[in-house]
């Protein structure tokens, strides 16, 4: 098998470095063990959980939790000074500004119209993007799981765009989609009519979703593929003895066993979708107009790229985003509990 | 109707249709072919574009290959002259070199016969003669010529940030995932929910507070300021935890009976078994760190500490973007990550295979 | 896992072990951004300076322009700034600038040569500090593709009359585009600063009697409406404004002879020399006229000293070197930048290009300085002008794609400016 030979070659390469790294790593690991053993004797096995989670929790506390608390304080201050102590306390004014609306379904009637446009666009984007990603990575994983030639090659091909930075992805597609770009060229050769893809509000949203599916799908395909391959083949044999057809196999064997993996994909893609920023920023700049401007872009522009940086308002908007995310996550975990986390 | 469902079902099922090509197989390969074109085409186009000159890049419609106009040396002229194909009024064509252009009229000379009288040609009747020529200077200038772009320093910093951050991420995320999946301690579920929900917040929206934390620690213009804040990744913890849940507790219990310490169990049992998930996270961490731009740009403002992404973006000015350099350097940044992927990808293959056998 | 870790470990140890630089000279850092070759030229000039002044070393940190706008203000506020910086929010960051007066050997030279531009970099009420100099002066104005006019057999309006209106240019550009089946008659950079020139020409005042920025006047509305309509009827490039974030230019379209009339500015000359050369006759024409004049906008970037520097004297020495007529002249000649220096303006700069088109174009821009309206200078000198420009850009875009009417857009611009200024206090 060529694959195994290649594998052996790589391992041999590493083996060359091994005499150098092995003692070093061994020393490190033994040292940690030496420190942790007495700790374990004192606290018992179950409480070692705290020890293992500590490094993560520290970094998390300093660089995520504390800044978020600070952010909460920023949300209740006004002015344009950087340091919190220089900023006047304004209570809930910033939140009042955000929610100052005559009619919440009409962004133009709101004081901060761009915030509400961002909210609506984000909801639409997340719904479309997550369903498209789940659908297409499932199909691709199923295809790649079949007995095909050059599976490794095709798997890499579908994964490759994941390696590109969001900015590069956006630039590539911007060129493809512009009026004189490659796509219109191909369409005209096929006898179709060229189009300003990113100028039509609905098409713009379509392409923004399409491009992020293009860029991210490979990752989720990989996870689903791993899930598919971990389904024991005996189950299919058993079901075929029972006279099941392909569709029934899929419906009653593949899907139930794939559910935990699907849940992982759903959660991860949702997180990424809500965080989406640079890619759209470069691809459409949030346009046409504000049609693809998401909430994160509003937060970024208000607090950061405007000449007069309104940290308070921006922080208030990110608090709103944070609270919605929290609710969403709790809902998801509850759903997940029923399927996989039980 | 029933037959359709079976066909779709066969397409969806694990098993292939057998030795002969059937509809499902045809669909499969059609999908794979289309997918390959769609997934890889744009990347190849990026590479092709990176070899175009500044003038070539702005050309519409964009030619597939990097063309440059042919220049010829003509006797009696100091500088090489651009070559054109000229179509006469009668439809005949010949190749002429352009001496100068005045308004819509070009003065041209036959390179084979430079002493002959100059020909006046309407510029609509001439097409440049082009040849495929790679603009290597897009690569060589930033690597060698441009003094303010210190490629090798940026490369060093990028490698340092990526490797150290990935190592730290793998270790501490797997430790946390181990704790969250294999221990029952007070507040475990609360910590998990806290991780997952708050870490959903992208760093983009708390840039200013994190910036304050970094400056007060003194990590402004320090690579640690880039490495550490992003090390507690939600994706990593989540991925590893889900994977570790599938490792049977009996394995751990057996090791404990043999007197293994918890750290030993983590290092000798959990990590090797979680290899597929770790490999996936490793690829991701490498990718995130290598491509990271927004955060390093805030922490790093002195070029001794720039990573490649920050340095590369310096070609984006107020009023101009030097695309020819941006594209070439983008291709350069793609190379290492492609190699890392090609390398780690095999670990995933074996990883998946071993889990499949279990 | 163990193997991956070991490799990473080795790499880290190796790289960390690389020797650090030792320093016994004063090191100054310039936070800089590049549009073209100016960073390289500056490096050359500074190399000469360092050769003559071995006790000073100047490092140029070239960052994306975006980092100058967004990150530099945070760094300055946090006390993490550089010693010098190239900035475009001239007045907005004035509180952080170093007044170099006590360290300069000849402050009068600065007043004399940079006089009109010093107040752009000062806080309101300050009329004496010397914080830095303009690396370049930019003038906004239109370029035309003259060859297209000739091919279409249509007269260039500015050949016939010294004051051509915007409507006349629009009609001529449309006629050329129609005759030659060219996609874009006109385009304007996506920038509120570019829009300001035409707006002032059509009568916009930009400030009320109290000196507060306002866009609620007939002149502004007039140009805004015309401009939005031009996007709807295809006179203006329909993608540039609606489909971009921040600044966007139409260099590609212009270089491909797909655009007849391009409202941009003097900084393009260097680029066009590269991208077009003499493939067709590109030309700068005087700014179109209206009831408010025939004005473009002045602008540009400045190199300023930062007050928090630990080495103000050395900063001043570097600045004195860079601003000497000889060095600044070389900088301007090699970058094709218009210098903002009285001495050089009087003597003229022999721009370092063989291309007559480029020399002519720069000549027209230099000649435009005298035709700029006072409002244009006031707006450029106003500290928070970027807040005005950005709101103009973003809200007019919304009007173009039908998210609001022109009047709603103007009201929103005013509201955005007022909100931001109220917070600024």
Query: Which sequence spans correspond to the domains of chain B?
Result: 2-49, 67-132, 140-357
Assess C386–A contact: CB distance below 8 Å, yes or no. yes
User: Quick one: pLDDT at residue C424?
Assistant: 82
Answer yes or no: is pLDDT of C166 > 60: yes
What pLDDT digit, counting tens, does each position of C140-159 carry? 999 999 999 999 999 999 99
User: Quick one: pLDDT at residue B178?
Assistant: 94
> Number of CB pairs < 8 Å for B and C?
154
Do the chains contact at C40 and B148, CB–CB below 8 Å? Answer: yes
What pLDDT digit, counting tens, does each position of A233-256 carry? 888 878 778 777 778 888 888 888
Do the chains contact at A307 and C10, CB–CB below 8 Å? Answer: no
Q: How would residue A18 be classed by pLDDT, with cut points 50, 70 and 90?
A: low
User: Quick one: pLDDT at residue C290?
Assistant: 94
Answer yes or no: is pLDDT of C16 > 70: no
Answer yes or no: is pLDDT of A143 > 80: yes
CATH topology agreement for domains C26-137+299-356 and C139-298+363-424: yes
Q: Which of B13-27, B59-73, B226-240 has the lowest mean pLDDT?
A: B13-27
Nearest CB among B62, B228, B294 relative to A59 is that of B228
Assess B11–A contact: CB distance below 8 Å, yes or no. yes
Q: Which of A210-224, B140-154, C15-29, C245-259 has the lowest mean pLDDT?
A: C15-29
Share of chain A above pLDDT 70, in %: 92
What pLDDT digit, counting tens, does each position of B81-96 carry? 888 888 888 888 888 8
Which CATH fold topology does A2-341 show?
MetI-like fold (1.10.3720)
Share of chain C above pLDDT 90, in %: 73
Assess A258–C contact: CB distance below 8 Å, yes or no. no
Rounded to a whole number of angstroms, the distance from the CA of A206 to the nearest CA of chain B is 16
Higher pLDDT, B156 or A28: B156
Q: CB under 8 Å, gap of 24 or more: what pairs does C409-417 form?
A: C409/C224, C409/C228, C410/C215, C410/C216, C410/C220, C410/C221, C410/C224, C411/C216, C412/A113, C413/C215, C413/C388, C414/C214, C414/C215, C414/C216, C416/C387, C416/C391, C417/C213, C417/C215, C417/C387, C417/C388, C417/C391
Of chain A residues 52-81, which have a CB less than 8 A from chain C? 78-81
Cα angle value B94/B97/B100 (rounded, 5°):
130
Rounded to a whole number of angstroms, the distance from the CA of C161 to the nearest CA of chain B is 21
Do the chains contact at A17 and C6, CB–CB below 8 Å? Answer: yes
Assess C389–B contact: CB distance below 8 Å, yes or no. no
Do the chains contact at A308 and C245, CB–CB below 8 Å? Answer: no
User: Quick one: pLDDT at residue B342?
Assistant: 79
DSSP SS3 for C185: strand
Report how far residue B312's alpha carbon sits from residue B149's, in angstroms, rounded to the nearest whole number.
8
Answer yes or no: is pLDDT of C412 > 90: yes
Answer yes or no: is pLDDT of B15 > 50: no
Do the chains contact at A285 and C10, CB–CB below 8 Å? Answer: no
Q: How would residue A145 be classed by pLDDT, with cut points 50, 70 and 90?
A: confident
Answer yes or no: is pLDDT of B259 > 50: yes
Three-state SS letters, chain A: CHHHHHHHHHHHHHHHHHHHHHHHHHHHHHHHHHHHHHHHHHHCCCCHHHHHHHHHHHHHHHHHHHHHHHHHHHHCECCCCCCHHHCCECCCHHHHHHCCECCCCCHHHECCHHHHHHHHHHHHHHHHHHHHHHHHHHHHHHHHHCCCCCHHHHHHHHHHHHHCCHHHHHHHHHHHHCCCCHHHHHHHHCCCCCCCCCCCHHHHHHHHHHHHHHHHHHHHHHHHHHHHHCCCHHHHHHHHHCCCCHHHHHHHHHHHHHHHHHHHHHHHHHHHHHHCCHHHHHHCCCCCCCCCCCHHHHHHHHHHHCCCCCHHHHHHHHHHHHHHHHHHHHHHHHHHHHHHHC
Tokens of B181: 């999946």
Tokens of A64: 């995520």
User: Quick one: pLDDT at residue B323?
Assistant: 78
Answer yes or no: is pLDDT of B1 > 60: no
What pLDDT digit, counting tens, does each position of B97-127 carry? 888 777 777 888 888 888 877 888 887 788 8
Rounded to a whole number of angstroms, the distance from the CA of A56 to the nearest CA of chain C is 18
Higher pLDDT, A161 or B351: A161
DSSP 8-state secondary structure symbol assigned to residue B205: G
Do the chains contact at C71 and B60, CB–CB below 8 Å? Answer: no
Residue ranges of domains in chain C: 26-137+299-356, 139-298+363-424
User: Quick one: pLDDT at residue B26?
Assistant: 86
Mutate to test the interface with A, among C242, C246, C387 (most CBs of A within 10 A): C242
Q: How many CA atoms, within 13 angstroms, populate the side-chain half-sphere of residue B52?
A: 24
User: Quick one: pLDDT at residue C147?
Assistant: 92
User: Quick one: pLDDT at residue A118?
Assistant: 93
Q: Which residue from C minimizes the CA distance to A179? A: C239
Tokens of A57: 């929790």
Assess B31–A contact: CB distance below 8 Å, yes or no. yes
Cα angle value B344/B347/B349 (rounded, 5°):
115
CATH 3.30.930.10 fits C139-298+363-424, yes or no: no
Do the chains contact at B314 and C31, CB–CB below 8 Å? Answer: no
CATH 3.40.50.300 fits C26-137+299-356, yes or no: no
What pLDDT digit, counting tens, does each position of C262-316 carry? 999 999 998 898 888 888 999 999 999 999 999 999 999 999 999 999 999 999 9
Answer yes or no: is pLDDT of B352 > 50: no
What pLDDT digit, counting tens, does each position of B304-338 carry? 999 988 888 878 777 777 778 888 888 888 888 88
Highest average pLDDT, of A294-298, B106-110, B134-138, comes from A294-298
Cβ–Cβ under 8 Å, residues C59 and B302: yes
Assess A162–B contact: CB distance below 8 Å, yes or no. yes
Of chain B residues 142-201, which have a CB less than 8 A from chain A? 171-173, 175-176, 178-180, 182-185, 188, 191, 193, 195-201
DSSP SS3 for C234: coil
Cβ–Cβ under 8 Å, residues C212 and C203: no
Report how far residue C34's alpha carbon sits from residue C279's, in angstroms, rounded to the nearest whole number.
26
Q: How would residue A40 be classed by pLDDT, with cut points 50, 70 and 90?
A: confident
Answer yes or no: is pLDDT of A333 > 50: yes
What pLDDT digit, counting tens, does each position of B170-198 carry? 999 999 999 999 988 888 888 888 887 77
CATH code at B140-357 = 1.10.3720.10
Answer yes or no: is pLDDT of C198 > 70: yes
User: Quick one: pLDDT at residue C130?
Assistant: 95
Do the chains contact at A246 and B12, CB–CB below 8 Å? Answer: yes
Q: How would residue B358 be classed by pLDDT, with cut points 50, 70 and 90?
A: very low
Helix C2-16 vs helix B275-291: angle between axes, to the nearest 10 degrees?
Answer: 30
Residue ranges of domains in chain A: 2-341
- Which residues in chain C touch residue A80, judged by CB atoms under 8 angstroms apart? 423-425
Q: Chains with ≥3 Cβ pairs under 8 A against B?
A: A, C
Nearest CA-CA partner of B78 in C354, C334, C270, C273 = C354
Q: Which residue from A minimizes the CA distance to C11? A: A21
């Amino acid at each position: 098998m060529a694959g195994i030979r290649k594998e052996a070659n790589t391992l041999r390469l590493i083996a060359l470095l091994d005499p150098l790294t092995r003692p070093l790593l061994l020393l490190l690991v033994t040292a940690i063990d030496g420190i942790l053993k007495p700790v374990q004797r004192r606290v018992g096995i179950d409480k070692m959980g705290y020890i293992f989670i500590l490094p993560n929790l520290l970094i998390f506390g300093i660089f995520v939790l504390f800044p978020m608390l600070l952010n909460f304080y920023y949300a209740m201050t006004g002015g344009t000074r950087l340091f919190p102590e220089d900023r006047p306390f304004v209570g809930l004014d910033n939140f009042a500004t955000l929610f100052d609306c005559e009619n919440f379904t009409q962004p133009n009637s709101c004081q901060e119209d761009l915030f509400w446009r961002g909210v609506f666009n984000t909801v639409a984007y997340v719904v479309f993007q997550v369903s498209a990603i789940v659908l297409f990575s499932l199909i691709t994983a199923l295809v790649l799981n079949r007995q095909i030639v050059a599976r490794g090659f095709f798997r890499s091909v579908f994964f490759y765009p994941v390696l590109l930075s969001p900015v590069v992805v956006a630039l590539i597609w911007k060129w493809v989609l512009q009026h004189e770009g490659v796509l219109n060229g191909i369409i005209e050769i096929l006898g179709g009519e060229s189009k300003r893809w990113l100028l039509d509000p609905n098409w713009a949203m379509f392409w923004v979703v399409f491009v992020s599916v293009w860029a991210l799908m490979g990752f989720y395909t990989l996870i689903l593929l791993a899930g598919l391959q971990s389904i024991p083949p005996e189950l299919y044999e058993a079901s075929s003895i029972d006279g099941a057809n392909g569709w029934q196999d899929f419906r009653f064997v593949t899907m139930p066993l794939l559910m935990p993996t699907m849940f992982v994909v759903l959660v991860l893609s949702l997180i990424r979708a809500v965080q989406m920023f640079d890619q759209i920023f470069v691809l459409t700049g949030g346009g046409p107009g504000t049609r693809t401007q998401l909430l994160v872009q509003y937060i970024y522009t208000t607090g950061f790229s405007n000449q007069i940086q309104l940290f308070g308002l921006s922080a208030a908007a990110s608090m709103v985003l944070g609270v919605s995310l929290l609710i969403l996550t709790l809902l998801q975990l509850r759903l997940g509990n029923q399927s996989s986390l039980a | 109707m029933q037959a359709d469902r079976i066909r779709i079902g066969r397409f969806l099922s694990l098993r292939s249709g057998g030795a002969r090509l059937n509809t499902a197989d045809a669909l499969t390969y059609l999908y794979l072919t289309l997918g390959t074109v769609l997934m890889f085409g744009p990347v190849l186009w990026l590479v092709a574009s990176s070899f175009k000159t500044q003038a070539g890049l702005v050309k519409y419609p964009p030619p597939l290959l990097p063309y440059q106009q042919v220049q010829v040396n003509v006797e009696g002229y100091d500088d090489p002259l651009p070559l054109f194909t000229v179509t006469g009024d009668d439809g005949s064509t010949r190749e002429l070199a352009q001496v100068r252009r005045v308004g819509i009229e070009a003065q041209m000379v036959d390179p084979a016969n430079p002493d002959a009288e100059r020909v006046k040609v309407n510029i609509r009747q001439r097409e440049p003669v082009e040849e495929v020529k790679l603009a290597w200077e897009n690569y060589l200038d930033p690597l060698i010529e441009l003094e303010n772009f210190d490629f090798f320093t940026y490369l060093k910093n990028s490698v340092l940030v990526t490797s150290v951050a990935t190592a730290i991420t793998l270790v501490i995320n797997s430790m946390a995932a181990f704790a969250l999946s294999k221990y029952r301690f007070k507040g475990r579920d609360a910590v998990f929910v806290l991780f997952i929900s708050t870490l959903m917040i992208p760093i983009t929206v708390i840039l200013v507070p994190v910036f304050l934390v970094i400056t007060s620690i003194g990590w402004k213009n320090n690579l640690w300021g880039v490495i550490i804040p992003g090390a507690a990744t939600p994706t990593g913890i989540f991925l590893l935890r889900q994977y570790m849940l599938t490792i049977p507790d009996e394995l751990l219990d057996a090791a404990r009976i043999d007197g293994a310490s918890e750290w030993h169990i983590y290092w000798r049992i959990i990590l090797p078994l979680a290899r597929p998930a770790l490999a996936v996270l490793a690829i991701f961490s490498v990718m995130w760190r290598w491509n990271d731009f927004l955060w390093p740009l805030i922490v790093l403002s002195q070029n001794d500490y720039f990573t490649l992404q920050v340095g590369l973006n310096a070609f984006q000015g107020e009023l101009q973007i030097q695309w020819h350099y941006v594209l070439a350097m983008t291709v350069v940044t793609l190379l290492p990550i492609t190699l890392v992927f090609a390398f780690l990808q095999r670990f995933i293959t074996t990883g998946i295979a071993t889990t499949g056998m279990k | 896992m163990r193997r991956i870790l070991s490799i990473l470990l080795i790499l880290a140890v190796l790289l960390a072990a690389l020797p650090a630089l030792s320093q016994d000279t004063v090191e100054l850092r310039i936070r800089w951004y590049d549009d073209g070759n100016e960073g390289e030229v500056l490096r050359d000039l500074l190399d000469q300076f360092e050769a003559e002044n071995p006790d000073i070393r100047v490092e140029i940190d070239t960052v994306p322009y975006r980092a100058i706008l967004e990150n530099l203000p945070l760094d300055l506020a946090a006390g993490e700034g550089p010693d010098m910086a190239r900035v475009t929010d001239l007045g907005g960051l004035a509180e952080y600038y170093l007044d170099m007066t006590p360290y300069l050997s000849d402050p009068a030279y600065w007043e004399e040569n940079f006089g009109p531009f010093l107040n752009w970099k000062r806080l309101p009420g300050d009329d004496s500090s010397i914080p830095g100099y303009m690396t370049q002066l930019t003038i906004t104005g239109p370029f035309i593709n003259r060859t297209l006019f000739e091919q279409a057999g249509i007269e260039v309006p500015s050949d016939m009359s010294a004051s051509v209106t915007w409507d006349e240019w629009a009609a001529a550009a449309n006629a050329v585009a129609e005759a030659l089946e060219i996609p874009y008659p006109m385009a304007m950079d996506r920038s509120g600063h570019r829009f300001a020139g035409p707006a002032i020409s059509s009568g916009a005042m930009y400030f009320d009697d109290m000196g507060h920025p306002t866009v609620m006047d007939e002149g502004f509305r007039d140009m805004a409406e015309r401009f939005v309509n031009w996007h709807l009827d295809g006179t203006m490039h329909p993608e540039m404004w609606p489909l971009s974030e921040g600044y966007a230019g139409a260099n590609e379209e212009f270089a491909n002879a797909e655009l007849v009339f391009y409202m941009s500015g003097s900084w393009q000359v260097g680029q066009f020399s590269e991208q077009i050369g003499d493939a067709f006759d590109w030309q700068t024409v005087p700014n179109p006229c209206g009831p408010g004049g025939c004005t473009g906008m002045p602008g540009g970037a400045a190199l300023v000293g930062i007050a928090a520097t630990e080495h103000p004297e050395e900063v001043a020495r570097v600045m004195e070197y860079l601003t000497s007529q000889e060095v600044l002249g070389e900088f301007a000649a090699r970058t094709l930048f218009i210098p903002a220096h009285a001495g050089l303006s009087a003597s003229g700069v022999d721009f370092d290009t063989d291309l007559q088109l480029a020399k002519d174009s720069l000549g027209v821009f230099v000649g435009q300085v005298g035709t700029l309206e006072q409002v244009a200078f006031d707006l450029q000198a106003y500290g928070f002008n970027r807040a005005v420009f950005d709101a103009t850009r973003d809200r007019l875009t919304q009007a173009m794609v039908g998210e609001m009417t022109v009047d709603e857009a103007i009201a929103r611009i005013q509201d955005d400016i007022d909100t931001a200024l109220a917070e600024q206090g």
